[in-house]
Structure 1
Amino acid sequence: MSKRLPLEPIVKKVGNFYETVHVAAKRARHLYTVDPYTFGKDSEGREHKKTVIALLEILEGKVCPKREG
């Protein structure tokens, strides 16, 4: 059902580990508020937990941290 993701490429994409956790948690909470009773589906149609979906979205570039500047 759920798979383990290597965090190194995700952390490199975001910048640091703390911000990666923050962005993934915020996105996973949003996914749970939209539909708390089902698993999420990745781009290939496989079901995963919402936290894994959030990490996959960061890795694919669909979700990114808000940059101030």
Structure 2
Amino acid sequence: MAKRIPLEPIVNKVGNYYETVHVAAKRARYLYTTDSYTFGVDEKGEEHKKTVIALLEILDGKICPKREK
């Protein structure tokens, strides 16, 4: 079963929903181009879809969007 991720902590890290979707989609597309399989494996060895892996990476702070000042 797919893992449910709360979006509020991710949105708080990124800034807003639009930017969160943009960053996660860009990272998920990159993951799909490097490995075309539907599922990927996170650091704990669990299988997730690439979009979930992208959101987990944002939540862990591995990916942060460039912010213009």
**Could you tell me the TM-score, scaled by structure 2's length?**
0.92
Q: Matched residues in 1 for 2:62 and 2:45: separation?
A: 16
**Unmatched 5+ stretches in structure 1:** none
Identity of aligned residues (%): 80
Instruction: Provide, for residues 7-64 of structure 1, a one-character-per-residue CA deviation record: whole Å limited to 9, x for no partner.
Output: 0000001010100000000000000000012521122110000000000000000011
Counterpart residue number, 1:5: 5
Give the counterpart letter for 1:30 in structure 2.
Answer: Y
Q: Matched residues in 1 for 2:38 and 2:28: separation?
A: 13
Counterpart residue number, 1:40: 40
Q: Matched residues in 2 for 1:47 and 1:29: separation?
A: 17
**Unmatched 5+ stretches in structure 2:** none
**Could you tell me the TM-score, scaled by structure 1's length?**
0.92
Question: Which stretch of structure 1 is more off in the superposition, 5-14 or 37-46?
Answer: 37-46
Q: RCO higher in 1 or 2 (8 Å CA, sep ≥ 6)? A: 1
Q: Report how many aligned residue pairs link the two structures.
A: 69
Q: Matched residues in 2 for 1:2 and 1:34: separation?
A: 22
Q: Matched residues in 1 for 2:49 and 2:68: separation?
A: 30
Q: Matched residues in 2 for 1:16 and 1:38: separation?
A: 27
